[in-house]
Structure 1
Amino acid sequence: MTGTPRPLARSLAPLPDESLPGFLLRLAHRLNRTPARMAVLTGIAPYRLGHAVKLPAHLLVALRPEAAARFAATTRLTLSEVRALGLRPHQVTYPPLTDAGERPDGRFGSHVWAFTAASRFCPQCLAGDGTAVQSAHGGPWRLPWHLPVVFACTRHRRLLDHLCPSCRQPLNASVQGRAGLILHPTGPALHPAQCRNHAPDAGTRKPKPACGTDLTATAAGTRAKADTDLGTLLDLQSRLLARLASPAADEPLFFPDLIAVSQMITISWPAAVDNLSLPEVATDALDKHIHAIRRRTADRPRGDNGRIVIGPPPAAAACASLLAMSEYLVSHPDPAAARDCVQTLARRAVERDRTRFVGIIRRGQLSLPLARALAVQRGGFHATAGAGTSAALRVPTRTCRFTAQEIPQLLPNAAYERHLAHFTTRLTVASRNNARLARRAATLKLAEMTSGGTFSDSARLLGIPRGHALSGLQQLRLRTDGEDTWQQFLLGLDAIAAELDGQEHRIDYQRRRTVLEDWSIPPAHWAHLTDGLPTLDAAPELRICASVLVWTQVTEGDYLFSPLVRDRGWGGRLLGGPDLVRDLPHLAGARRGAKARLLPRLAAYTQQTAAWCDGGARTGEQRTTP
């Protein structure tokens, strides 16, 4: 279509919440035309071969800008009214719609929970409100009925239907695997509230007659099995509709979480009802749906049935039950209890269908609380491989005010004594190395709390060689007599994290490590430090050993990973590194002689160096301490 489109002789005003296909059906009925002819006249039919008009389902999301402009001109609507006929405006509150429909690059995206071409419906809404226009052309086919999370009509207090009462087929279902905007758009003229499916006895006749059943005749409709169930589900629908109307600022990923948990419940079924204390809603319809899907897909290749298995149940009762259980877990007031429930579902889902479970996690956009609840922990840290793991789950395990930059390589002794000394007394092997192992493992866990990532990521952030970090943690775990003792370690870490959060001024240890990465005590400073100690001044190798001691105290670092011992702290040992490792304890533990007299001077010098690192030093400038 070229040039300025001609307005139709007559048009209609859209009804509240009306969908594009519903508006087309009412407009076609008023003008006594087929929906296909109306699509051509209004300029929205993107595919046309001879007399065949194809209306793809993605038009339900949004029209192209040029098509929307033509449609507005011919129907005498405003552009805002035309946009309101599509689902695109709902993507702000319902994120699965973000990638659905036609993308700017011309490709078409689809999320199995974004929308359904087949529409649920309320017979009483379709019957109209008694006004002249709705009495003549029917009430609205409401746009939200195409969203999987809309399963009830709160106005008429009933669950929505999804099958024609006569032919028992979904309304506007896919034909030969392809979904359209309107089923059989070139078929005979029908009232908008009539079923457009083929008649059950159509056989091989062409053209096949339409079912034509009046969908408004079943006013009683499908209800929940008990009034208490219906009230519970209507309350749930009201809450979901409120979120669709206005997103909660503190829960922007509520619907992605709801969908991910729903898919896990489906895969792990019946774990949700067998193992968890979830809301007591009727689950017969959901149980029937899941077992029917499993029978249907049992002999199919795994890759061919993904959308069927993890998609929303078409029946309102089944979908409502599933969403009720999911909302209970997503909105659970007790994070610990929610984590236990979600972990149970995750384990059962992995056992039944690990590939699909991991696919849900990797493709999904999850909130931090749900990702934390799903995260697989091994040895007290995020798992890096194995069943059910994904980078999407290796998130910060705690909401922290402190950062990874403010964590040293070794937990300071004062914090260790307050919170972890009792843990090391319970280890099964007595060793003077236990405290060092616990202090190192503590900082690795603190890094995971605030930055997420893997065990290796935490070690890299702190400048600790991965092999040393792993072997140290393994030794610590081997010396722990059961999970109760390890739980004491984790509880101590929570207390340490709370202390760090409460500190107004925290030290940037990463900055200190960076400033001192190629530093040693300058010869002039060493001469001042050893003034009156000629035996030390005459031992130049001691200056490097003292530099390592200062580095460990300024950075709260492990002397094994000093840049003077290892290349940049985490590489191979430098020439003379083993000698420094051997000699440092003798210097630090000196009780008499010149070395003992040097230690107080080094302590004062350490404070000056720390202040220099925190205040005036910058990476790349001349390394000279005051």
Structure 2
Amino acid sequence: MTNTPLPRSLDPVTNELLPGYLLRLAHRLALPPLDLGHLCGLTTGPIFPARHLVRLDAAQAQEIADICRLHPAEVHALTLAGQAPGYTPLRIDYLGRHQSSVTMANDGWVLTAFSRYCPDCLTDTAQLPGGPVWQGAWRLPHTFLCERHNRLLAWQCPACHAPAFSNGYRSDGRWRPTQLIPAPGQRLNPARCRHRAGSGRASACGQPLDQPTGEHLPRPTPAMTHAHRRLAEAATAGADHEVTSLGQRVSAQSFFNDVRATVSAIRGSWPLACEVFAELGSMDAVTAHVDALRRPHPERTTALGDGRVARTFGHPPADPLPAAALMALTVAILDNPNGHHTLAPLLSALPSTSTAHIRLRQHATHCSPTMTAVLRGVVRLPQKAVGKPALFPQPATHRGRLDPRTIPAVLPEHWTTPLDELDAPRRQLRRDAAIRLVQMATGRSRRSAALYLGIPLGSLHSATVTIRPWQKEPGNAVAYQNALHRVAEIAIADGEGDPRGASAR
């Protein structure tokens, strides 16, 4: 493998993802996308790993940049992590668990197993070098409409009726493993359907997707458009950006966890929410989606059933219409400062053994304080599952993302904005936060982290005994943990902009 630049290349288009860029470049060079993937060092075999869609390490990004005559920053911008930094499921430490890029590529809350698309957008970009552009946001499960053309996105090929830009599903209804580019060994215009039927060895469908589908979808309602904007704003937010959820300003991370909890509550108790928000429209689409999820497992996974439902169980619907209606419901609840009164009866209706109830137990601690309080009071979660203890052990949630060498014992002023919003002893809290940041980056013990920063053990003890009573007050430990995650993201952003930080990584 050499890093010899290609004879010709392309400039990435704003909001374009790596699969779409490689498709356009391969089409321009008259190469199968898989051959281009070999040249760029993204694969060595017949499979095009989808994990590259999530994020790239520095070496991979540099190799692609050298081959395609790009800057590494342009390459990183072709990943979902680069385009949606505020979208919680794309975090390595999502819900307190370390997840790999492979895990994320197969999680329906991270990205769809296919790509929705706007035929009009594909038409508008058809004359660009290499062909039409597939937008990055189309892969996110909460992106269901195109505001520019005021239409719901399409998701199926009008000819083969399979999900567009997908590796398809087997005859038993299960999805084939997601690939970065479906049918990567075949040369096709980027706007052509790449789904392969049967065993997957057949030729791709090849139907043009940049033409009117003949499907008469309803226009997005104002509630759908508003929900789409709210979710897109939070997904692209920076580390210090806050959004409103249940009447409180919270991090984008907490907001998306509230979204996931609300979706579980709505679907698990359906049709209760429909009775409250019937005026939002398209509730019959949500009903059809929920009915499909409630079918017996064999019916959901056989060739005669809707195999795609198996992928969407517990995740946003694949079909943009029920997805739009469900997200409009969700955002309507979270936009209301009294939304917790709406959530309470929905949560009360969930059987304690239901899948939705189990999921809520798993991520309740990562929601906003108001959502956590609702879950505690209605779902009756164990106390240990609804909040951090006063002196919670600090897990290594940012190992590999946050460089401990960039963390000073005295935090810079612009890092401490999230801490200053807390009603806590200012000096001791900043010192405690610096120690915890090192723990988040390395997994060290509290004592070892303090010594790493050069903080004397006497000062460590002083900070501990001062912060402990404050942390024991209701809600403070959760608010502190949320603030620490925001500080960590600011520190990471600073490190990425600092050449010394980049080299250290």
| Paired residue secondary structure (1:93) | coil
| Paired residue secondary structure (1:92) | coil
The match for 1:99 is 92
| Paired residue secondary structure (2:188) | coil
The match for 2:184 is 185
Please state if 1:320 is matched with 2:321. Answer: no
Q: How big is each residue's C-alpha offset from its partner over 1:569-598, in whole Å with a ceiling of 9 and x where there is no partner?
A: xxxxxxxxxxxxxxxxxxxxxxxxxxxxxx
Query: What is the Cα deviation at residue 400 of structure 1?
Result: 10
Q: CA RMSD in A?
A: 3.4
TM-score (ref. length: structure 1): 0.54
* Aligned 8 A contact 2:167 2:183 in 1: no
Name the amino acid aligned to 1:168. Answer: H
Larger Rg: 1
The match for 1:80 is 73
* Aligned 8 A contact 1:395 1:451 in 2: no
Quote the Cα distance in structure 2 between the aligned partners of 1:170 and 1:306. 14
Q: How big is each residue's C-alpha offset from its partner over 1:223-248, in whole Å with a ceiling of 9 and x where there is no partner?
A: 32xx5x53332232223223333354
Name the amino acid aligned to 1:243. Answer: A
* Aligned 8 A contact 1:72 1:82 in 2: yes
Assess, with a 3 A threshold, how the Cα gap between structure 1 residues 168 and 182 changes in structure 2: closer, same or farther. same
Query: What is the Cα deviation at residue 330 of structure 1?
Result: 1.4
Q: Which of 120, 123, 142 is 1:124 aligned to?
A: 120
Quote the Cα distance in structure 1 between the aligned partners of 2:100 and 2:286. 37
Quote the Cα distance in structure 2 between the aligned partners of 1:400 and 1:66. 39
The match for 1:109 is 103
* Aligned 8 A contact 2:5 2:67 in 1: yes
Name the amino acid aligned to 1:195. Answer: C
The match for 1:59 is 52
Assess, with a 3 A threshold, how the Cα gap between structure 1 residues 100 and 32 changes in structure 2: closer, same or farther. farther
TM-score (ref. length: structure 2): 0.66
The match for 2:374 is 373
Quote the Cα distance in structure 2 between the aligned partners of 1:209 and 1:30. 21
Quote the Cα distance in structure 1 between the aligned partners of 2:23 and 2:382. 48
Quote the Cα distance in structure 2 between the aligned partners of 1:43 and 1:213. 30
Name the amino acid aligned to 1:218. Answer: P
The match for 1:70 is 63
Assess, with a 3 A threshold, how the Cα gap between structure 1 residues 300 and 236 changes in structure 2: closer, same or farther. closer
Unmatched runs of 5 consecutive residues or more in structure 1? 378-385, 404-446, 454-626
Assess, with a 3 A threshold, how the Cα gap between structure 1 residues 390 and 354 changes in structure 2: closer, same or farther. farther
The match for 2:205 is 211
Quote the Cα distance in structure 2 between the aligned partners of 1:278 and 1:374. 24
The match for 2:287 is 287
Please state if 1:236 is matched with 2:227. Answer: yes
- How many matched pairs? 374
The match for 2:486 is none
Quote the Cα distance in structure 2 between the aligned partners of 1:18 and 1:283. 32
The match for 1:392 is 385
The match for 2:134 is 141
The match for 2:37 is 39
The match for 1:495 is none
Quote the Cα distance in structure 2 between the aligned partners of 1:237 and 1:157. 12
Quote the Cα distance in structure 2 between the aligned partners of 1:105 and 1:388. 25
Query: What are the equivalent positions in structure 2 for 1:293-304 lying under 5 Å apart?
Result: 293-295=293-295, 297=297
Unmatched runs of 5 consecutive residues or more in structure 2? 243-248, 302-308, 390-420, 426-469, 477-505
Q: Which of 293, 314, 318 is 1:310 aligned to?
A: 314
Q: Which of 157, 169, 179 is 1:164 aligned to?
A: 157
* Aligned 8 A contact 1:42 1:71 in 2: yes
Assess, with a 3 A threshold, how the Cα gap between structure 1 residues 40 and 185 changes in structure 2: closer, same or farther. same
The match for 1:154 is 147
* Aligned 8 A contact 1:43 1:71 in 2: yes
Quote the Cα distance in structure 1 between the aligned partners of 2:269 and 2:145. 26
Percent identical: 30
* Aligned 8 A contact 1:375 1:394 in 2: no
Moved more, 325-334 or 140-149: 325-334
Assess, with a 3 A threshold, how the Cα gap between structure 1 residues 281 and 219 changes in structure 2: closer, same or farther. same
Query: What is the Cα deviation at residue 345 of structure 1?
Result: 1.3
The match for 1:503 is none
The match for 2:259 is 258
Quote the Cα distance in structure 2 between the aligned partners of 1:267 and 1:22. 36
Name the amino acid aligned to 2:329. Answer: M
Does 1 or 2 have the higher relative contact order (CA < 8 Å, sep 6+)?
2
Quote the Cα distance in structure 2 between the aligned partners of 1:24 and 1:343. 47
Quote the Cα distance in structure 2 between the aligned partners of 1:152 and 1:25. 23
Query: What is the Cα deviation at residue 325 of structure 1?
Result: 0.7
* Aligned 8 A contact 1:55 1:181 in 2: yes
Query: What is the Cα deviation at residue 180 of structure 1?
Result: 1.0
The match for 1:198 is 196
Query: What are the equivalent positions in structure 2 for 1:583-598 lying under 5 Å apart?
Result: none
The match for 1:17 is 15
Please state if 1:273 is matched with 2:301. Answer: no
Name the amino acid aligned to 2:207. Answer: T
Assess, with a 3 A threshold, how the Cα gap between structure 1 residues 233 and 299 changes in structure 2: closer, same or farther. closer
Q: How big is each residue's C-alpha offset from its partner over 1:261-306, in whole Å with a ceiling of 9 and x where there is no partner?
A: 11221222222113x34652212222112211221526789xxx98
Name the amino acid aligned to 1:451. Answer: P
Name the amino acid aligned to 1:128. Answer: D
Query: What is the Cα deviation at residue 145 of structure 1?
Result: 0.6
* Aligned 8 A contact 1:159 1:316 in 2: yes
